[in-house]
Amino acid sequence: MGRVGLGVAVGCAAVTCAIAAALVARRASARARWRRAVALLREFEEGCATPPARLRQVVDAMVVEMHAGLASDGGSKLKMLLTFVDALPSGSEEGVYYSIDLGGTNFRVLRVQVGAGSVIVNQKVEQQPIPEELTKGTTEGLFNFVALALKNFLEGEDDQDGKMALGFTFSFPVRQISVSSGSLIRWTKGFSIRDTAQGIVEGPCVVICGPAHWPKSHQDGLIDLLIPPGREILSTECNAAGSWSRASAARGLRNCCVVSHASARDARRESRATPHFPNCRAHESRCCARRVARSPRQCACRLAARFPKKKPARVFVAAGIAVFASDDPSSGGASAIANCMGEGYPKMAPAPANKDPPAALLQGRLSQRKQVGRDVAQCLNEALANCGLNVRVTALVNDTVGTLALGHYYDEDTVAAVIIGSGTNACYIERTDAIIKCQGLLTNSGGMVVNMEWGNFWSSHLPRTPYDILLDDETHNRNDQGFEKMISGMYLGEIARLVFHRMAQESDVFGDAADSLSNPFILSTPFLAAIREDDSPDLSEVRRILREHLKIPDAPLKTRRLVVKVCDIVTRRAARLAAAGIVGILKKLGRDGSGAASSGRGRGQPRRTVVAIEGGLYQGYPVFREYLDEALVEILGEEVARNVTLRVTEDGSGVGAALLAAVHSSNRQQQGGPI
């Protein structure tokens, strides 16, 4: 072999070695990236772990929050709202009753005929969309539209001789004052009708506004000194950047705005009493803005001096919920107003820096008080009367209470109801003597249905991961509904999407799909359920969903298995936490086998307990249901779990409301009052 041949051979060998080395390096890199994806999976699985011991901690935390919510308004993340429903259907009801279900962009009208023995003889349902202009119009326009729909629905019916009872399912936040009346707190779900929403302030009142960096200590210090014991705090709202931090060492109230809605004479007197606010104007519709360098308590003491004789009845502390007059344009006050104004609050423009806001702004805010907090049942009754209908609302309920009513209609051992669908909530029957915040409350049955609003439950024992924090950051209700964001159908697919996105960024398991996976809520929970339930050998349904909906073509089998595992982890955590919430209710009622304090029975005598349950996530996702049932047994033990039945109900928000109308119209007749 000549030198040329030898050179060629050496060159070929070198090229071959280089190619081999490149292939080896590529494979090593691929293995490293795959190991990273697996590591992220294991990290996520560990973060979502819900062993029985942890679930029992969640149960105990739920019970503590329930007690706190029953003791005082605002004392707990659980609102524990009184519904004034003290009687539930027993199965003996007879007659024809109607209900209206208003809770979104559509509403339904139902006619329900019931017979003795828990028999629904006949049921007629009609659904109508609500025109978009009515969701942003006036109260009269919306309820007149609903009343007209009911009138058209009743045409041809032959049961209009006497006054008819109507159940009204109204799935918006309401402060209930009786079983048939309640004041709207705020509109949600895209509704923004301004003349019905709950107002924020009424005099004498102090409104304190600050920039987004105010710590929790400032808020607490001001409230403690401005509010005497036993007086009401109307509201505290988080700022645009999130909830108040608990940095107790932080000092300095900056750009503090104080707005006093009192008489002009009182405002002048208060102005003289507060020399540390030299920019304060002696007028009820003006605000002052000055940078002060005081500790929270020192500043609070000075503010408290404004009311030496009469403490204010209400204080509202927020960032940007009122007019913000700032001497520091960089403080973020203007953006706080834009970002923090929630649905149901009248929007106001920020005041220019170093200038008082026009009087009309605050006067406009005060004039809202004349129309706020309107009784939604009364609004509907007036609209029905205007249409010439002899119909009256006898039960104003939300969908969870309707589910409990329907469950109790079929089985009187039903003590609670849970909805697990796109959202989640729970209610249960509480002893009236346990409702401390409403002492002296008397009912014929000795009990009352309490609407927990458990979606807002929170505890340090909940297994929160970095993906839950990312999810919370991208939602409009940041730092609220923490429990709901872990277990409800609206969010489960998004949690999985966030995991996939990080895997795509830090490994090549999804190829070049990082961009497509960056779109929020591209993976809905029904797709997550379909992925988890795919039991085909090659996971063909998973491949189809990845290709068609997530734009991930030709994912190998091991990647599809990884996707299934992520969906399983999300599902399992959600179901097991929901089970812990249910056991929390049972423990509060003494029906968890731990002593039965409420029932007076011993540990060896467990009572039969039925929980009505409704919602697409529980009803339409068998794997979720299996995990939930499994967790109930783990927490309660087999003996107690045998006495707990989860009964699926259908259409509690419609049929359940009609049944409650039947019950409470009968109660009124027995008491000698009109329906």
Q: What pLDDT, in 10s, does the model give residues 142-165?
A: 999 999 999 999 887 766 666 788
Same domain membership, residue 286 and residue 171: no
pLDDT tens digits, 309-362: 333 333 333 322 232 222 233 333 323 322 322 323 233 333 333 333 333 333
Same domain membership, residue 212 and residue 353: yes
Mean local confidence (pLDDT), 166-179: 87
Residue 71 lies in a domain: no
Q: Is the pLDDT of residue 205 over 50?
A: no
- Side-chain half-sphere of 372: how many Cα atoms within 13 Å? 19
Residue 120 lies in a domain: yes
| Residue that is written with structure tokens 């003491």 in the block | 301
Q: Is the pLDDT of residue 391 over 60?
A: yes
Same domain membership, residue 318 and residue 212: yes
Enter the tokens of residue 337: 């107003």
Same domain membership, residue 224 and residue 335: yes
Distance (Å, rounded) from C-alpha 432 to C-alpha 427?
14
- State what percent of residues in the chain have pLDDT above 70: 65
In what helix (H) or strand (E) does residue 422 lie, and over which residues does it extend? none
Residue 466 lies in a domain: no
Q: Which residue has the higher pLDDT, 422 or 11?
A: 422
Give the strand pairing for 119-129 and 256-260: unpaired
Residue 615 lies in a domain: no
Same domain membership, residue 223 and residue 97: no
Non-local CB neighbours of 554 within 8 Å, separated by 6+ positions: 547
- pLDDT band at residue 15, thresholds of 50, 70 and 90? low
Mean local confidence (pLDDT), 8-33: 62
- What's the confidence (pLDDT) of residue 285? 25
Same domain membership, residue 306 and residue 209: yes
Same domain membership, residue 165 and residue 90: yes
Mean local confidence (pLDDT), 479-483: 90
Same domain membership, residue 235 and residue 140: no
- What's the confidence (pLDDT) of residue 605? 63
- pLDDT band at residue 120, thresholds of 50, 70 and 90? confident
Enter the tokens of residue 322: 């009122």
- What's the confidence (pLDDT) of residue 557? 92
Mean local confidence (pLDDT), 280-299: 30
- pLDDT band at residue 249, thresholds of 50, 70 and 90? very low
Residue 459, CA distances (Å) to 77, 310, 589, 599 in order = 9, 38, 20, 27
Q: Is the pLDDT of residue 631 over 70?
A: yes
Residue 177 lies in a domain: yes
Which of 420, 432, 427, 423 is closest to 404 using CA atoms? 427
Q: 280 in the Ramachandran plot: left (φ > 0), alpha (ψ -120 to 50) or beta? A: beta
Burial class (CB in 10 A: 0-12, 13-18, 19+), 651: buried
For the domain that residue 140 is a member of, what is the CATH number?
3.30.420.40
Average per-residue pLDDT in the chain? 73
Non-local CB neighbours of 114 within 8 Å, separated by 6+ positions: 93, 94, 95, 97, 120, 121, 658, 659, 662
Q: Is the pLDDT of residue 431 over 70?
A: yes
Helical H segments across 489-610, by residue range: 489-506, 525-532, 540-548, 557-588
Q: Which residue has the higher pLDDT, 278 or 132?
A: 132
Distance (Å, rounded) from C-alpha 343 to C-alpha 108?
24
Residue 423 lies in a domain: no
pLDDT tens digits, 572-619: 999 999 999 999 999 999 998 876 444 444 445 678 999 999 999 999
Q: Which residue has the higher pLDDT, 102 or 208?
A: 102
What's the domain count of the chain? 2
Residue 275's domain comprises: 205-370
Enter the tokens of residue 658: 């009609």
Residue 474 lies in a domain: no
Cα of first residue to Cα of last residue in the chain, in angstroms, is: 113
Residue 62 lies in a domain: no
Q: Are 77 and 458 in contact (CB under 8 A)?
A: yes
Mean local confidence (pLDDT), 237-263: 29
Q: Are 286 and 359 in contact (CB under 8 A)?
A: yes
Which of 301, 335, 370 finishes a domain?
Answer: 370
Same domain membership, residue 314 and residue 388: no
Non-local CB neighbours of 646 within 8 Å, separated by 6+ positions: 582, 610, 611, 613, 628, 629, 632
